Structure 1
Amino acid sequence: MPKKIPEMIQIKDKQFKKYLSKEEIQETVQQLAAQVSEEYEGKELVLLGILNGCFLFLSDLVREMKTDPEISFLKLSSYEGSESSGQVKQLIGLDEGLDGKHVLIVEDIVDTGNTLEHIISSLENEGAESVKVCTLLLKPDVYSKDIAIDYVGREIPNDFVVGYGMDYDGQGRSLEHLYQLEKA
């Protein structure tokens, strides 16, 4: 008998309601992996994961892909609690050259685009053959940049979500399902 997904969970001072099941997430990841594999077949690809939130998504994505990309990570921060601070801080960075390689930035979620803009401006001088973006979730209502999001798993409303690598104030990343902040 399948395990029942809790309808509501509490993390610290916030209530979250069930939003996407593990199965729905995996179906979305499989669709993205098929698209990425097709486009980058026979090409030298670097998946550039943006930590911390992307770690589960990137892991599942690369296991579903039919290519064998290099994997690297950047760690940036723009959130304080459940709100974007508007300021992007780079905490750790890319440590290998990108000359002639195709780079696919892998994000768990894109909302305002501030982090993405910061990353792409940093990569412009690295000599990459191409730079594209793949995100599991996109919040189109608040996305304010002209940067193309090449692979989008799902569009969601501008609600705060936790689980599947995404957190609220450091907690909730290990949840296998996705939960949305319950509005008061």
Structure 2
Amino acid sequence: MSKPSIITLHDLSFKPLIPEEEVRKRVLELGEVLSAELKGKRPLFISILSGAFVFAADLIRAFDGDCEVSFVKLASYAGTSSTGEVRTVLGLDKQIEGRHLVVVEDIVDTGQTLHHFLEEILKHKPASITTVGFLRKPEAVAFPVKVDIIGFDIDDKFVVGYGLDYNGLGRNLRGIYVLAD
């Protein structure tokens, strides 16, 4: 069965940007990098919901070692743009002091969400923090945030798929799709 070249979610059309096979290959590579960097440690992976859950699930399966997983839900988007405000909807449920943390983010757009979250967790004195962003829009970054490991750098355009959505739809797409012109 051939994959559609254009998909429609609500009132917008999207075209393929990163195919499923490329996504899968890159996540395995990121898992290998993390496995090497954190060898002998038992990190706590913290997935920022809702968008990062698909990436986080695949990433921890690609991680070769013991690990724990936790989730936080932060919200900063409405429709296709950032609201400029980060709200904590669901906070951490684990102690992080002295722990090796891997913060998993779906997309680093302005960097506001990650910046806000890192400021909060630094107060709890973790042993280390490794930040992993599946996608990054270098042109859009407006907050001083260091992303240690990046899946793909992309242009400053709205994307869906692989956990990313447009008003709730598109998270189940296996590749990344970009807003069609």
Measured against the shorter chain, the TM-score band is over 0.9
Query: TM-score if structure 1 supplies the norm length?
Result: 0.96
Partner of 2:160: 162
Correspondence for 1:7 among 5, 8, 19: 5
RMSD, aligned CA:
0.9
Q: How does 1:76-155 map to 2 (within 5 A)?
A: 76-155=74-153
Q: Percent identity?
A: 39
- Alignment coverage as a number of residue pairs: 181
Amino acid in the other structure paired with 1:165: G
Measure the CA separation in 2 of the matches of 1:54 and 1:113: 14
Q: Quote the residue 1:46 is aligned against.
A: 44
Q: Which runs of 5+ in 2 are unaligned?
A: none
CA displacement at 1:145 relative to structure 2: 2.4
Report the 3-state secondary structure (helix = DSSP H, G, I; strand = E; otherwise coil) of the residue aligned with 1:73. Answer: strand
Return the TM-score normalized by structure 2: 0.97
* Amino acid across the alignment from 1:112: T
Deviating 4+ runs (over 6 angstroms): none
Number of the residue aligned with 2:57: 59
Instruction: Give the gaps of 5 or more residues in structure 1.
Output: none
